[in-house]
């Protein structure tokens, strides 16, 4: 008997009793037991806060991102181990791909996200706020890692993705995690965590695992902790009301199962490619993971004149669906995750049957390939029809967490919007339409009740990731029944684990705190040109005051001819009446180009190349005869990784380019980036 182990306080330990039996969803055999008896949850939380947290917080965002990348590469090399284990959860190879490689993909995505953060242990948020007339007093926002632990209570349907999509975010933020997978499929989570710990890539204390019950862990949370929950709305509401969460004002993020919908636009006919796209999308969402997805389509909202066509086409496609052992060739749909789940889904189907009729599927009449359907947790797709969805509302309130969905008719797009909202909040809605005006009407009308809206048509269907696939760079969550929380979402998700604090002071002081130059702060002048210095030698605030140049008519004419930009304000003095200009003005891009000519050092040196421009504004007209100069200031430095041992060690330097005229007033301002060689190439 395989007794699952918990990873707690730096050790692998089995529960102190026999624990809960976990079953192979295909064969019905016991595959493992899970128990957490004997674990000290208070010690685990303290270990994360005092051992894992400080180590992660000492790392910069760049270092944490590279850690995620290394871990993703390691897990990718071990993925076949996970596929073998995943079979026992009832998942097909395609189902497991979403779970396993989708989860690893989250690590890769958040590893790449490091490039949007500074090379610091903290980050800043938004733009500087000027709080005084003479700019001697400014404000900004700094975001530092919370000094607590992220406690993730996950659902059974995605034992790998459910863990990795969360820990990728809290690790990048610099916060350790305790993961509690649902016991039903925790044997797969344990297999992944064993590889993570064995790799030695994470600092000790960054990850702990509870395979058995985590009852009582919330009694030990503190104000700096973050608790996330994925699962049923009823369980989530119970956890959310825990007195300790309220007492300590602990951030609680809930992502609950919801009654997601897919809408067929009124413009679509059976002859259009969008009709086939709709049938394929709905069918896929019903059968993938045997319908056990928090994003699965539960409500199929169809124009009333298209109900029969949809029913026939969907019935034909689902009839081709082969149910059985995922290891057997030709099987397209596995089982539910376990017998307990099958019993629960059957109960919900019986409840739904009281107010609507089953038109596709039967619990009694279906075939299973390569397995005994009495031993495994198999069930066929069940499709209901509800002809009065505005009065028979069980379909908007009861979710059968399996391959179960309801077709319902509507007359107008406004009715479709109303039906979509009757689910009282969902993770995702989709609409299939070739009419962009319908897409706009539905999206704007329905958005307040859905965390994500996918618009599908023939133009994007081939590359679309689909209705049921949350993407790491977009938020995953939804209002109302869906829990009211958000996960992932790129930088948005990282901020859930950071404390945002407003800071105020002089530009010089704020520059020193952030290690990012703030305009108006003290500047450092050196005898050596900044382009003659290596990455390590450059100081934040180091400034070159350039020579000056007086703009001439020839400058503007020549630039117009070279660039092809003959806009009237630059070249036609007779067209200036009624404009804001009192004379011909220099091109903004000429001003910036000339600024580059003033601050660039032409000789070969540590500067390897110009990497681009982040921000650029032309703030004042530059007329013929104006004299410009540049204050060229080192604003920020970000060290880059060496992709190969032979690669040049280098970093990106951000420079504030402040172009001013003879009055001292700024006429153009930009942030340019250069790639600069490191002195130390080891």
Please, what's the b/e burial string for 59-86 (b: 16 or more CB within 10 A of its CB; e: otherwise)? bbbbbbbbbbbebbebbeebbeebbebb
Element holding 650 (H helix, E strand): strand 650-660
CA atoms of 216 and 39, how far apart (whole Å): 11
Q: Establish whether 80 is a catalytic residue.
A: no
Q: Which of 143, 211, 261, 294 is catalytic?
A: 294
Please, what's the b/e burial string for 538-572 (b: 16 or more CB within 10 A of its CB; e: otherwise)? bebbbbbebeebebeeebbeebbeeeeeeeebbee
CA dihedral 610, 612, 617, 623 (to 10 degrees): 40
**Number of neighbouring beta carbons within 10 Å of residue 176:** 30
DSSP code for 649: P
CA atoms of 157 and 337, how far apart (whole Å): 7
Query: Looking at the DSSP assignment, which residues form a beta bridge with residue 675?
Result: 609, 652
> What does 49-83 look like in DSSP terms, one character per residue?
IIIIHHHHHHS-HHHHHHHHHHHHHHHHHTHHHHH
CA pseudo-torsion sign 295, 298, 301, 307: positive
Q: Tell me if 565 sits within 8 A of 587, measured CB to CB.
A: yes
Q: Tell me if 148 sits within 8 A of 518, measured CB to CB.
A: no
**Number of neighbouring beta carbons within 10 Å of residue 391:** 8
Q: Which of 190, 255, 274, 399 is catalytic?
A: 255
| Phi-psi group of 142: left, alpha or beta (phi > 0 → left; psi -120 to 50 → alpha; rest → beta) | beta
| Phi-psi group of 200: left, alpha or beta (phi > 0 → left; psi -120 to 50 → alpha; rest → beta) | left
Backbone angles phi, psi at 562, to 5 degrees: -70, -45
DSSP code for 661: -
Structural tokens at position 229: 């929950």
CA separation, residue 168 to residues 58, 163, 165, 188, 433 (Å) = 17, 9, 6, 18, 35
Spatial neighbors of 345 by CB under 8 A, at least 6 apart, are 336, 379, 400, 401, 402, 404
CA separation, residue 103 to residues 48, 86, 168, 394 (Å) = 23, 13, 9, 34
Structural tokens at position 554: 């020839």
Query: Looking at the DSSP assignment, which residues form a beta bridge with residue 652?
Result: 638, 675
Structural tokens at position 299: 């409500």
Structural tokens at position 508: 């010089």
Q: Is 549 helix (H, G, I), strand (E, B) or coil?
A: strand
Question: Closest by alpha carbon to 496, among 218, 170, 102, 200?
Answer: 170
Q: Establish whether 190 is a catalytic residue.
A: no
Q: Tell me if 237 sits within 8 A of 425, measured CB to CB.
A: no
| Phi-psi group of 76: left, alpha or beta (phi > 0 → left; psi -120 to 50 → alpha; rest → beta) | alpha
CA atoms of 257 and 237, how far apart (whole Å): 12
Question: Closest by alpha carbon to 152, among 226, 78, 213?
Answer: 226
Q: Is 111 helix (H, G, I), strand (E, B) or coil?
A: helix
Q: Tell me if 498 sits within 8 A of 144, measured CB to CB.
A: yes
Count of alpha carbons within 13 Å of 88, Cβ hemisphere only? 20
Question: Closest by alpha carbon to 280, among 462, 453, 91?
Answer: 462
Residues annotated as catalytic are 255, 294
């Amino acid at each position: 008997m395989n007794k699952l182990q918990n990873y707690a306080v730096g050790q692998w330990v089995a529960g102190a009793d026999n624990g809960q039996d976990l079953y192979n969803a295909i064969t019905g055999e016991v595959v493992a037991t899970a128990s957490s008896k004997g674990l000290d949850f208070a010690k685990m939380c303290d270990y994360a806060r005092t051992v894992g947290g400080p180590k992660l917080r000492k790392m910069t965002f760049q270092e944490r991102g590279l850690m995620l990348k290394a871990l993703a590469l390691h897990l990718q090399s071990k993925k076949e181990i996970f596929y073998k284990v995943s079979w026992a959860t009832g998942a097909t190879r395609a189902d497991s791909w979403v779970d396993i490689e989708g989860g690893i993909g989250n690590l890769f995505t958040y590893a790449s996200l490091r490039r949007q953060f500074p090379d610091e242990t903290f980050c800043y948020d938004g733009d500087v706020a000027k709080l005084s007339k003479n700019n001697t007093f400014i404000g900004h926002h700094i975001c530092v890692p919370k000094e607590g632990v992220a406690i993730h209570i996950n659902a059974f349907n995605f034992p790998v993705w459910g863990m990795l999509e969360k820990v990728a975010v809290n690790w990048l933020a610099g916060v350790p995690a305790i993961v509690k997978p649902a016991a039903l499929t925790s044997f797969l989570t344990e297999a992944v965590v064993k590889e993570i710990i064995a790799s030695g890539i994470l600092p000790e204390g960054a990850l702990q695992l509870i395979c058995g019950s985590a009852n009582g862990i919330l009694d030990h949370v503190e104000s700096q902790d973050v608790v996330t929950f994925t699962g049923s709305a009823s369980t989530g509401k119970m956890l959310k009301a825990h007195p300790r969460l309220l007492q300590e004002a602990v951030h609680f993020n809930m992502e609950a199962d919801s009654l997601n919908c897919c809408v067929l636009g009124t413009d679509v006919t059976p002859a259009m490619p969008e009709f086939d796209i709709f049938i394929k999308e709905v069918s896929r969402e019903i059968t993938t993971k045997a319908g056990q997805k928090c994003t699965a389509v539960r409500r199929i909202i169809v124009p009333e004149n298209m109900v029969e066509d949809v029913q026939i086409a969907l019935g034909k496609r689902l009839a081709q669906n082969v149910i059985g052992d995922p290891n057997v060739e030709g099987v397209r749909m596995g089982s539910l995750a376990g017998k307990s789940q099958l019993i629960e889904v059957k109960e919900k189907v019986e409840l739904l049957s009281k107010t609507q009729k089953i038109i596709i599927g039967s619990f009694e009449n279906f075939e299973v390939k390569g397995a005994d359907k009495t031993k495994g947790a198999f069930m066929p797709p069940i499709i209901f029809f509800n002809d009065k969805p505005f009065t028979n509302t069980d379909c908007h309130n009861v979710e059968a967490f399996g391959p179960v969905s309801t077709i319902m008719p509507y007359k107008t797009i406004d009715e479709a919007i109303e039906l979509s909202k009757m689910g009282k909040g969902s993770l995702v809605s989709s609409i299939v339409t070739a009419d962009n005006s319908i897409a706009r009407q539905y999206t704007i009308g329905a958005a307040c009740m859905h965390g994500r809206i996918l618009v599908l048509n023939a133009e994007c269907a081939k590359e679309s990731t689909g209705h049921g696939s949350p993407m790491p760079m977009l938020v995953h969550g939804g209002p109302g029944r869906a829990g009211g929380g958000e996960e992932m979402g790129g930088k948005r998700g990282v901020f859930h684990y950071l404390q945002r604090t407003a800071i105020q002071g002089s530009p010089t002081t704020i520059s020193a705190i952030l290690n990012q130059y703030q305009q108006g702060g003290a500047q450092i002048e050196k005898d050596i040109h900044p382009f003659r210095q290596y990455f390590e030698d450059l100081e934040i605030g180091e400034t070159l005051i350039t020579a000056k140049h007086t703009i001439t008519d020839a400058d503007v004419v020549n630039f117009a001819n070279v660039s092809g930009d003959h806009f009237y304000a630059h070249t036609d003095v007779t067209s200036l009446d009624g404009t804001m200009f009192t004379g011909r003005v220099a091109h903004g891009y000429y001003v910036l180009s000339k600024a580059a000519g003033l601050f660039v050092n032409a000789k070969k040196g540590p500067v390897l190349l110009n990497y681009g421009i982040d921000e650029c504004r032309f703030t004042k007209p530059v007329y013929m005869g104006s004299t410009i100069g540049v204050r060229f200031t080192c604003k920020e430095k970000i060290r880059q990784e060496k992709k190969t041992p032979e690669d040049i060690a280098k970093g990106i330097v951000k420079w504030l380019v402040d172009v001013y005229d003879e009055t001292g007033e700024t006429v153009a301002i930009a942030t340019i980036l250069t790639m600069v060689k490191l002195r130390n190439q080891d």
